[in-house]
């Protein structure tokens, strides 16, 4: 375990927005079940809750990273500090995109008021959503005004990102046929902001029409629709205005309510991720006797489940 003084130094470093320490703190919290992680988070938590948080999600290659980079530029022009967690920037479309992301966000890597961290979507004991959420908390504690999480995917990813942020923006590109279909069929969670990126492309018109039809058919509150050309840094202010419009529509009480329900969801997931491995081990490690009793019909499976839960 890290000595107390080192932990205090780390906490203070994060709060003073020292990027090296922010990096270390995020790494420490990636292993959320360690004692160090617990102690660090208990120090940092009182300093969180101030950042404006935004999730940027959507299919591979839609331009999420380019858009994030353009948004950072826009926010820096307004003197806002920014933190980014980019989850699994290596989708099949842009292979080796970790490097691609570095290039896309390169302008910002040397800016002391911007912290960008890439995170793999694999190898987190408690799941990626938990690691990303804790990473965002570090950036929030560090005083970043805006904290962005970029996740790739369609379907499950918006559901996961929902409980991490105040505002969810889904980014689509022209001819994201499947995504539009998923939106219509209700498989995809309705985002707060729907962004058609690469609107400079000729094929944009077709997707625009499909999205308009979808939005017109949606009951309130419909997502705020924007179009961007992230490669040329265009219409980025509209995206940011949409994020603010969404926050305003929530109101102060609405935002608190949303945050409470997000925290409840995060903690439910954490309880499950802490408990599940231990419970599963009950059957894989050792308790063959119990399994044998079930197999020989001396006891039924539901009774065993009850006992296992009560024993915790
Ligand atoms: N024409 C056009 N191309 C764009 C625009 N924005 C991004 N691109 C291009 O789209 C490709 C993918 O961009 P990324 O920003 O890496 O997309 P992403 O959604 O982050 O990709 P993954 O993280 O791999 O899912 C790159 O080649 C970009 O240059 C745009 O507004 N117009
Ligand atoms: Mg990306």
Among the bound ligands, name the one nearest to the CA of residue 85: 2
Ligand 1 atom with minimal separation from the 94 CA: 24
- Which residues have a beta carbon within 5 Å of ligand 2, which is an ion? 64-65, 89
Q: Which residues line ligand 1 (CB under 6 A)?
A: 60-66, 89, 91, 93-94, 97, 100, 104, 152, 197-198, 200-201, 229-231
Q: 280-287 long-range contacts, Cβ below 8 Å, gap at least 24? A: 282/308
251-295: pLDDT as tens digits: 999 999 999 999 999 999 888 888 887 777 777 766 678 888 899
pLDDT band at residue 78, thresholds of 50, 70 and 90?
very high
Measure the CA–CA gap between 147 and 116, rounded to whole angstroms.
10
* Contact by Cβ (8 Å): 10, 18: no
Q: Please check the confidence at residue 192 and state whether its pLDDT lies above 50.
A: yes
All structural domains of the chain, each given as residue ranges with its CATH number in brackets, are 47-250 (3.40.50.300), 267-310 (no CATH)
**Candidate ranges 57-66, 167-176, 224-233, 236-245; pick with highest mean pLDDT:** 236-245
**Of all atoms in ligand 1, which is nearest to the CA of residue 171?**
19
* Pocket mutation for ligand 1, best pick of 55, 64, 66, 173 (most atoms within 8 Å of C-beta): 66
Work out the angle between the directed axes of helices 35-44 and 128-141 (0-180°, nearest 10): 40
* The pLDDT value given to residue 150: 94
Angle 128-141/4-15 helices, nearest 10 degrees? Answer: 70
């Amino acid at each position: 375990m890290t000595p107390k003084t080192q932990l205090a130094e780390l906490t203070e470093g994060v709060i003073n927005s020292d990027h090296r320490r922010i990096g270390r703190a995020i790494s420490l919290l990636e292993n959320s079940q360690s004692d160090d992680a617990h102690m660090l988070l208990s120090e940092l938590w009182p300093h969180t809750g101030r950042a404006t948080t935004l999730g940027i999600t959507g299919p591979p290659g839609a331009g999420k990273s380019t858009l994030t980079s353009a948004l950072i530029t826009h926010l820096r022009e307004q003197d806002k500090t920014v933190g980014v967690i980019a989850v699994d920037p290596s989708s099949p479309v842009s292979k080796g995109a970790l490097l691609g992301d570095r290039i896309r966000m390169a302008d910002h890597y040397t800016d002391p008021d911007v912290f960008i961290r890439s995170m793999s979507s694999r190898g987190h004991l408690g799941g990626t959503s938990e690691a990303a959420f804790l990473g965002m908390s570090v950036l929030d504690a560090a005083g970043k005004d805006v904290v962005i999480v970029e996740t790739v995917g369609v379907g499950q990813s918006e559901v996961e990102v929902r409980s991490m942020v105040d505002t969810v923006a889904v980014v689509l590109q022209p001819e994201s046929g499947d995504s539009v279909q998923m939106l219509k069929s209700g498989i995809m969670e309705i985002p707060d902001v729907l962004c058609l990126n690469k609107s400079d492309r000729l094929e944009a018109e077709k997707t625009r029409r499909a999205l308009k039809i979808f939005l017109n058919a949606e009951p309130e509150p419909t997502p705020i629709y924007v179009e961007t050309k992230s490669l040329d840094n265009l219409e980025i202010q509209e995206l940011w205005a949409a994020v603010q419009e969404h926050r305003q529509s929530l109101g102060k009480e609405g935002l608190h309510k949303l945050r409470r329900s997000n925290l409840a969801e995060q903690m439910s997931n954490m309880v499950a991720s802490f408990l599940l491995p231990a419970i599963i081990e009950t059957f894989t490690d050792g308790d063959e006797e119990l399994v044998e009793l079930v197999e020989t019909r001396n006891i039924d499976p539901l009774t065993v489940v009850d006992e296992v839960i009560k024993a915790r």
